Amino acid sequence: MLKIYSSSELTPQLRARLLQRSSSEDREALAIVQAILDEIAAEGLVALKRISERLDGVAPDPFLVTPEEFEEAELALSSEIKQAFQTAYQNIKSFHAFQRKMLEDQKTTVCTSTLGYMYRPVERVAVYVPGGKAFYPSSVLMGVVPARIAGVSHITLLTPPGRDGKIHPAVLYCARLAGANAVLKAGGAHGVAAAYHGLLTPPAELIIGPGNRYVTAAKNLLASTGRVRIDQPAGPSEVIVIADNTARPAFVAADLLSQAEHGEDSPCILLTDSLVLAERVSEEIAKGLDERPERRSMKETSIREHSYAVVFETLDEAIAFSNDYGPEHLEIATEKPERDLEKITAAGSVFLGHYAPVALGDYFSGTNHILPTGGAARMFSGVGVDTFMKRITYQYPTRESLRKALEPIRIMSKVEGLDQEHGHSVEVRFEGEKDRSPSQG
Amino acid sequence: MLKIYSSSELTPQLRARLLQRSSSEDREALAIVQAILDEIAAEGLVALKRISERLDGVAPDPFLVTPEEFEEAELALSSEIKQAFQTAYQNIKSFHAFQRKMLEDQKTTVCTSTLGYMYRPVERVAVYVPGGKAFYPSSVLMGVVPARIAGVSHITLLTPPGRDGKIHPAVLYCARLAGANAVLKAGGAHGVAAAYHGLLTPPAELIIGPGNRYVTAAKNLLASTGRVRIDQPAGPSEVIVIADNTARPAFVAADLLSQAEHGEDSPCILLTDSLVLAERVSEEIAKGLDERPERRSMKETSIREHSYAVVFETLDEAIAFSNDYGPEHLEIATEKPERDLEKITAAGSVFLGHYAPVALGDYFSGTNHILPTGGAARMFSGVGVDTFMKRITYQYPTRESLRKALEPIRIMSKVEGLDQEHGHSVEVRFEGEKDRSPSQG
């Protein structure tokens, strides 16, 4: 069922192919989206209505979710569903509050001057959550909770409505629970543009959250102006499981199929030092597809076209492969997972041990599930409290430390051709200093 | 000399105009650069040579700086110049090493599971430093030092050569001092593309540093693929000085003119609660332009077209204006600068007190000078050690904590239509558990 490679077969070419994911500039989407952005920039709300009707089949009136709709959503949900999301919310809040506490303002002394930095929240944020056909209330929590903990002043949740102009009650429930300030019923490029221009909410300075190719293109085009920050582009969800012979084939197979449930282009990869395990996982996948037939063709395509196992001589080789891959999700189902974790240099979120299915982090444990995909984990972090903050550096030099800097600054600024004013701005502070020194020294 | 507004004149429209900076999508540059990127992608080194000849007037052979060139550079510089950059290097290293120490790996317990995160360096980085006509060895230190301290494996310095195919000796000296692994003599969009595709150095996963509009366009286009991370677009350098009547007009004027020395589009802004100060600063600027005539027309244009003072009733109003502006550089030349700092919510780098000219941070104090411009400080941090790292999250759940998650995950994944496999991946771990439990529990 699962294609199994031996590490001895891995030529550099094959290795490169296995590491590669499909992703490229989407020029078609960029062109389509540019036109939408231009319409919204020129005509504002009028264009938003027109484009919503054209693309979503509805222009909600009003676009912003009303207090009554929030009430209705709460009534529409069973207490069991509400309880489940509440518990998840508490865990997500706990972990992100811990992250916030660790982002402390700091200062030190360099060359007798005080140098420091402080973290401050971004003020106006939009969190994009896909919608329309499927609903992701868990993603609402993952985007809004850390923003709220960071201290963001205004959080707009951006999500496309159904054809009836409504948003799924669990999405609204989670939006209120997590503390979104507004829910804007608009998705796609037009929704992103509406948030950016502040048509109905304060203009967003940071737009995060995965969306389709048009959402991605809109974020990229707006980011290129330097007036808004975005997170990294989102691609198909993916998992690597690094497992040794202490792993249970049925567990590993379940976790791979769980990833395949996300879409037919999801890579589900097993890296192991045990051929027996790889073979048994493959059997369990076949069994699982028979026993749990929902979305079967999607799961089969994902396993057949995008997934594989590699059997290495050692676990360290498996880890090295995984680091080159930079998986969004990484399970380490080995005898000593904490030891192996130390060797990980790139991954979005890591799941340690035999009781750590990715589903736990998708929904419940408290870690974030908005993560870099397609190898972006090699250079990007997943969403966290720091996503919603910036670091402001400062310095409080003493007079003496500035005096020591005088000569070096004169020399260095001269090399750069900036000596006249840069040099002078230091010198002027030591001219005729005795009779006119300000109080601070 | 300096246009002085009273806060009572500030209509919302005028306020908005004063806060605004010129920046927009540069579609013309994007189109030109797309063609260059396509050429490099298709033809590699051949295209790099051709485009270098066309745009830089030279195709250096070799493109990578040789050990001999580094030696020559060292010999070409006076010991005084080398000493100045070395001292600056030590300060920059001290402050960034302090930053690194504060980015500690952390873990906590949520719902009986261990949840944590760890910081790991990006492996392959390119640092862009503008060149050709002017030289910025200080920017080499600012880009390379934090990357080295973060633990980046390979740092390529990317800078355009002069028409003679050479790089300024101070740039090469600083590159070696800071620990760049390679210096690639290519700038512009073609240089960025060469670093991205790894034509002569390991392919860059992160490209930082300011450049002209073509560099910015190249970074934006490549970033949109999700395969490389970039920093924010760079615009004209800018300063706000918040000053009260304890400030010396001559110091403030010198600092404003020092900013104007960067370019004729640099905003130099004074915010104060003292009309007397504003008037005297204006006089000192006029005096300074007479006394220090180099680059006079550039400085005058910057002061006349892009600069102003606003006199507010209170310092708090001045601070609020500055926070809305989000200045790249912010000087707080007031009686109690540390108290005022607490109210700052957006700025790249802050300079406190009467002995804190921006030039100190440009060159010497140890803080970074690669900073967000054009209002981007409202959502971006300047370059720091964290720029070159990513945060990897992990979790090590106990069996018991997974059991508690079983029912909520079943419920939540059902709402999202992902219950079959996501639910099963948890359930399978509790099937027939007595006779086949793995060792880890």
A422 labelled ligand-binding: yes
pLDDT range class, residue B420, cuts 50, 70, 90: confident
Residue B368 has pLDDT above 90, yes or no: yes
- The pLDDT of residue B23: 62
CA distances from B63 to A154, B46, B48, B191 (A): 49, 12, 10, 10
Handedness of CA A89, A238, A231, A197 (dihedral sign): negative
Mean pLDDT of chain B: 94
- The pLDDT of residue A314: 98
Are the beta carbons of B138 and B170 closer than 8 angstroms?
A: no
CA distances from B254 to A253, B45, B239, B244, B259 (A): 68, 47, 12, 16, 9
| Residue B49: count of CB within 10 angstroms of its CB | 17
CA distances from A253 to A243, A338, B50, B406 (A): 11, 22, 52, 18
Spacing of C-alpha B384 from chain mean position: 8
Separation of alpha carbons B367 and A189, rounded Å: 38
Residues of A in contact with B225 (CB under 8 A): 23-25, 233
Run of H or E residues at A119: strand A113-121
A302, A395, A398, A436: best mutation site toward chain B, by most B Cβ within 10 Å?
Answer: A395
Separation of alpha carbons B348 and B350, rounded Å: 7
Report phi then psi at B426, rounded to 5. Answer: -85, -50
Residue B16 has pLDDT above 50, yes or no: yes
Q: What pLDDT, in 10s, does the model give residues A333-384?
A: 999 999 999 999 999 999 999 999 999 999 999 999 999 999 999 999 999 9
A354 labelled ligand-binding: no
Residues constituting chain A: 441
H helices of A326-398, in order, are 337-341, 358-363
- The pLDDT of residue B440: 43
Q: What pLDDT, in 10s, does the model give residues B224-274?
A: 888 999 998 888 999 999 999 999 999 999 999 999 998 889 999 999 999
Are the beta carbons of B324 and B347 closer than 8 angstroms?
A: no
At B201, the amino acid letter reads T
Please count the CA atoms within 13 angstroms of the CA of A148 that sit on its side-chain side.
21
| Residue A316: count of CB within 10 angstroms of its CB | 12
B386 labelled ligand-binding: no
Sheet with strand B124-128: strands edge to edge: B182-184, B154-158, B124-128, B206-208, B229-230
Residues of A in contact with B358 (CB under 8 A): 425
The beta strand positions in B81-216, using DSSP E, are: 106-110, 113-121, 124-128, 154-158, 182-184, 206-208
pLDDT range class, residue A134, cuts 50, 70, 90: confident
Residues 157-216 of B with CB under 8 A from A: 168, 170, 205-206
CB-CB under 8 Å, B384 with A390: no
CB-CB under 8 Å, B88 with A108: no
Mean pLDDT for A232-236 is: 84
If we measure between CA atoms, which residue out of B46, B42, B218 comes closest to residue B128?
B218
Mean pLDDT for A274-287 is: 98
The beta strand positions in B273-419, using DSSP E, are: 308-311, 329-333, 349-352, 389-396
Q: Is the peptide bond before A62 cis (omega within 30 degrees of 0)?
A: yes
Spacing of C-alpha B105 from chain mean position: 24
Q: What pLDDT, in 10s, does the model give residues A39-58?
A: 999 999 999 999 999 999 99
Task: Tally helices (H) and strands (E) across chain A.
Answer: 17, 14
The radius of gyration of chain A's CA atoms, rounded to the nearest angstrom, is: 26
Sheet with strand A389-396: strands edge to edge: A106-110, A113-121, A389-396, B349-352, B329-333, B239-243, B268-272, B308-311, B4-6
Catalytic entry in A96, A154, A190, A329: A329
Residues of A in contact with B399 (CB under 8 A): 355
| Residue A294: count of CB within 10 angstroms of its CB | 12
Q: Provide the 3-class DSSP secondary structure of residue B227.
A: coil
- B441 close to A (CB below 8 A): yes
- The pLDDT of residue B89: 98
Separation of alpha carbons B228 and A222, rounded Å: 17
B135, B396, B419: best mutation site toward chain A, by most A Cβ within 10 Å?
Answer: B396
Are the beta carbons of B316 and B242 closer than 8 angstroms?
A: no
CB-CB under 8 Å, B226 with A374: yes
Are the beta carbons of A23 and B227 closer than 8 angstroms?
A: yes
Residue A438 has pLDDT above 80, yes or no: no
How many angstroms away from the CA of B287 is the closest CA of chain A? 13
User: Which percentage of chain B shows pLDDT scores above 90?
Assistant: 88
B329 labelled ligand-binding: yes
**DSSP annotation of B385:** G
Are the beta carbons of B396 and B118 closer than 8 angstroms?
A: no
If we measure between CA atoms, which residue out of A178, A125, A35 comes closest to residue B379?
A125
Separation of alpha carbons B118 and B124, rounded Å: 19
Residue in B233, B258, B394 nearest the CB of A350 = B394
Separation of alpha carbons A427 and B364, rounded Å: 15
Separation of alpha carbons B303 and B4, rounded Å: 12
Q: Residue A305 contacts by C-beta under 8 Å, 6 or more apart in sequence?
A: A264, A265
- The pLDDT of residue A25: 66
Mean pLDDT for A177-202 is: 97
Separation of alpha carbons A119 and A393, rounded Å: 9
Class of residue A44 by CB neighbours under 10 A (exposed 0-12, middle 13-18, buried 19+):
middle
Mean pLDDT for A291-304 is: 93
Spacing of C-alpha B185 from chain mean position: 22
- The pLDDT of residue B419: 82
Q: What pLDDT, in 10s, does the model give residues A411-426?
A: 999 999 888 899 999 9
Are the beta carbons of A44 and A36 closer than 8 angstroms?
A: no
- The pLDDT of residue A28: 86
pLDDT range class, residue A433, cuts 50, 70, 90: low
Q: What pLDDT, in 10s, does the model give residues B163-177?
A: 999 999 999 999 999
User: Which percentage of chain B shows pLDDT scores above 70?
Assistant: 97
- The pLDDT of residue A26: 76
Residue B439 has pLDDT above 70, yes or no: no
Helix axes A45-56, A188-197, angle to 10 degrees: 160
Residues of B in contact with A345 (CB under 8 A): 120-121, 123
- The pLDDT of residue B25: 66
- A85 close to B (CB below 8 A): yes
Are the beta carbons of A437 and B106 closer than 8 angstroms?
A: no
- A72 catalytic? Reply is no
Class of residue A379 by CB neighbours under 10 A (exposed 0-12, middle 13-18, buried 19+):
buried
- The pLDDT of residue A378: 97
- The pLDDT of residue A225: 84
pLDDT range class, residue B1, cuts 50, 70, 90: confident
- The pLDDT of residue B133: 73
Residue B350 has pLDDT above 90, yes or no: yes
- A360 close to B (CB below 8 A): yes
If we measure between CA atoms, which residue out of A300, A265, A307, A269 comes closest to residue A286?
A300
H helices of A20-150, in order, are 27-43, 45-56, 67-76, 79-102, 137-150
Residue B113 has pLDDT above 70, yes or no: yes
Higher per-residue pLDDT: A232 or A72: A72
Residues of A in contact with B375 (CB under 8 A): 227
| Residue A27: count of CB within 10 angstroms of its CB | 12
Q: What pLDDT, in 10s, does the model give residues A204-225?
A: 999 999 999 899 999 999 998 8
User: Which percentage of chain A shows pLDDT scores above 70?
Assistant: 97
Residues constituting chain B: 441
ipTM: 0.95
Q: Which two tokens stand for residue B234?
A: 């760079």
Q: Residue B6 contacts by C-beta under 8 Å, 6 or more apart in sequence?
A: B275, B310, B311
Q: Are strands B113-121 and B229-230 parallel, antiparallel or unpaired?
A: unpaired
Q: What pLDDT, in 10s, does the model give residues A150-166?
A: 999 999 999 999 999 99
Residue B6 has pLDDT above 70, yes or no: yes
**DSSP annotation of B433:** G
A110, A287, A339: best mutation site toward chain B, by most B Cβ within 10 Å?
Answer: A110
pLDDT range class, residue B205, cuts 50, 70, 90: very high
Q: What is the b/e burial string over B388-408, where b = at least 16 CB atoms within 10 angstroms of the residue's CB?
A: bbbbbbbbbbbbebbebbbeb
- The pLDDT of residue A440: 43
Q: Which two tokens stand for residue A383?
A: 């969403």
Mean pLDDT for A275-298 is: 95
Separation of alpha carbons B96 and B145, rounded Å: 8
Chain B residue with minimum CA distance to A152: B379
Q: Which two tokens stand for residue A160?
A: 């496309």
- B342 catalytic? Reply is no
Residue with tokens 């002027």: A428
Residue A226 has pLDDT above 90, yes or no: no
Domains and CATH numbers, chain B: 4-22+236-365 (3.40.50.1980), 27-230 (3.40.50.1980), 399-432 (no CATH)
Separation of alpha carbons A309 and A151, rounded Å: 43
Q: What pLDDT, in 10s, does the model give residues B383-416?
A: 999 999 999 999 999 999 999 999 999 999 999 9
